[in-house]
Chain A
Amino acid sequence: MLYREAGDFKSTYSSDNQTFPIRFDRYAYWAALGFAFLVVPFLLTDYWANSIVIPLLIYVIAALGLNLLIGYCGQLSLGTGAFMAVGAYATFKLTFAFPWMPIYIVFILAGLVTAVVGVLFGLPSLKIKGFYLAVATLAAQFFLIWLFTRVGWFFNDSATGMITMPQRSMFGVTVTGAAASAIAVYITCLIFVVGMSWLARNLTRGTLGRTWMSIRDMDIAAEIIGVNPLIAKLTAFAVSSFFVGVAGALLFGVYLGAAEAGEAFGINKSFLVLFMVIIGGLGSILGSFLGAAFLVVLPVLLKLMLVDTLGWPADLARHLEVMVIGALIVIVLILEPHGMAALWRTIKDKLRLWPFPH
């Protein structure tokens, strides 16, 4: 039998607490990792890399970050786009100020800068919650974007108001700029995705994750049993913004190459990432992957079907896409409030018993 716990005896605490308790899941996980690192780079074409794989990997990081904040700590944020912009602009400023700095370090530092900004805008969460907080994060969204388009220091007074990524390499391989190969970009994003999801998984099952979840479930009760809401909420904002900042840095650094704050990181980006989290599943690491994959692949599929096959005008297909995404959000919230990850959980439960019903 393939999908069984039977015969897989746990004799240590660490093996009892591991992420994938079922042997088949572990094999599948290692197989997926091996496939992503060893097989995909050789199959990757420029079209696949640019339209699906790389945006997918970058949005996975952003969705993970937002999921930590909304799904685990219960703090609604509509400022994701602006925090991604902070990551992007921090990358730009840092790599121009210190051209010798390894670009991976720059991405991580950009994430840390975003974390500081995130904590700053997370401060109101100590007093307010729910959609009051959503409005407070909207303030971050509009204020930061305004700042990045108005103050010349942020974009080095370039005439177009855009920031452009110079060519940088890591271990002798060009990673950013127009000359970077799809494989180098892919491997860069993949390393970050694997590292960040490992971090997210281990944070959420540790003390920190538990304090976040207690705040989410009932903040007053959590405070009474000794959880410090100040630390819990601010760390959630810091970690979440770190993830989102790294995603913004990668989006600008390795994917877009040039960006303008209002266009690339507007309010629509905030909603896009929020939708990924909702469709994928609130409070689930796997959900962030599924949600990001779904919302990256859906527009490509729709375009392929409607524009290329049926010959519809592109703007009509775009409107239909907006409509479909909206309807999907409502349907998901009605049928399965915990998203695609919950569907996977149900399938797993069924698989464990298959072919028996109980």
Chain B
Amino acid sequence: MSETVLFAFEAALNGLTVGIMYSLVALGFVLIFKASGIFNFAQGVMALFAALTLVGFQEGAVPFAPLINATFGTSVHNFGFNMPTLLAIPAAVAVMVGFAWLVERIVLKHLINQEPIILFMATIGLAYFLEGLGDIMWGAEVKRLDVGIPQGGNVWFEENTQWLGMGNENFWGFYIDTLNLYALVIAAILVTALVIFSQYTKQGRALRAVADDHQAALSVGISLRFIWVLTWSIAGIVALVAGIMWGSKSGVQFSLSLIALKALPVLILGGFTSIPGAIVGGLMIGIGEKLFDFFMQPIIGGATENWFAYMLALAFLLFRPQGLFGEKIIERV
């Protein structure tokens, strides 16, 4: 194979792993959108907040330490112990569930029957709030997150793909980060678990009923408010997984919440209501933007990743507004 093809293929492989991140965030979006019709802009910040909380628990950091220090002139930072990861993850999950409950209690309850656009703007406000809260609670510096997933180039994968070069001396096999392979597996497990949950459990059935028709679900005795807390909790857990993946790769920092914006074009590609759509859309955008950058860099310059996804979504909107897997948008007067 010629070098260009090989390198393009490697770029696509890298894109695949970025795409998984997009998929994970988009998955959280889809879950909430299906259950409550709310377009949750805060999903990316939820991932950031979850990862921050996890790191905070692991390091035994005192919540609101900067605030306490500034107010009382003290200098507390740590409790002085490190929580084991196996304990810290359930604790972080508990925080996200608590957050879901609070959101339902304080925000969503009061916004029932508002227009979708008002709800969308409320979640933008929520995103800002959560971003500020995360920084105040755990400090704003970039944090290292290590939950024990191995990292670095995968030698096995590299050695076993070297034959593809057909004796080309410049080709040493495909480089791929082990972490990304794990991410792939974990994402697959997560989606399978979600599918099993929504197909075979009572709560999952209720969740699908609510997604299908709010009023009908209410009339057969399903508690809407409980289902909303449930979906926001699941979205919080998905956000935690996304946060762990991204955080182990490049540290827990603000850029994490920017991938949330990338999840919007992913949704447009995949359709707002389709879980497979979110996954396929994320992978497509991830691969697409890396390949586009690879081929176009000599012609129009780099950093096209910033806008490629949005332009692709724009093109999609003009020809297929409901996305690849979404339900057709029918409007009634």
Q: Which residues of A contact B (CB under 8 A)?
A: 74, 76, 124, 127-128, 130-132, 134-136, 138-139, 141-143, 145-146, 150, 218, 220-221, 224, 267, 271, 274-275, 278, 310-313, 315-316, 319-330, 333-334, 337
Contact = CB atoms under 8 A, between A and B. Distances in A.
A319 B118 contact: no
B2 to A, nearest CB: 29
A127 B317 contact: yes
Given A128-B321, A146-B306, A320-B136, A326 B261 contact: no
Given A131-B120, A146-B306, A315 B317 contact: no
A189 B196 CA distance: 61
B157 interface: no
Given A139-B311, A150-B303, A218-B333, A323 B132 contact: yes
Contacts of A135: 264-265, 268, 310, 313-314, 317
Interface of B: 39, 66-67, 70-71, 107, 110-111, 114, 116-118, 120-122, 124-133, 135-136, 140, 261, 264-265, 268, 300-301, 303-304, 306-307, 310-311, 313-314, 317-318, 321, 331, 333
B124 A329 contact: yes
A275 B126 CA distance: 12
A76 B117 contact: yes
13 contacts: A76-B120, A130-B116, A131-B117, A139-B311, A139-B314, A143-B311, A150-B303, A218-B333, A271-B128, A313-B66, A322-B129, A330-B126, A333-B122
Max chain B CB contacts within 10 Å: which of A130, A131, A136, A324?
A131
Binding site secondary structure of chain A: helix
A333 B120 contact: no
A134 B129 contact: no
B105 to A, nearest CB: 12
Given A127-B317, A127-B321, A139-B307, A333 B129 contact: no
Given A127-B321, A267-B261, A313-B66, A221 B310 contact: no
Contacts of A330: 107, 122, 125-126, 129
A329 B114 CA distance: 15
Given A131-B116, A316-B66, A323 B128 contact: yes
A326 B135 CA distance: 14
A145 B311 CA distance: 13
A127 B320 CA distance: 10
B307 A278 contact: no
Contacts of A221: 333
Given A146-B304, A274-B124, A321-B132, A334 B321 contact: no
Given A132-B317, A132-B321, A138-B264, A319 B132 contact: yes
A150 B70 CA distance: 42
Contact of B140 (A145, A146, A271, A315): A315
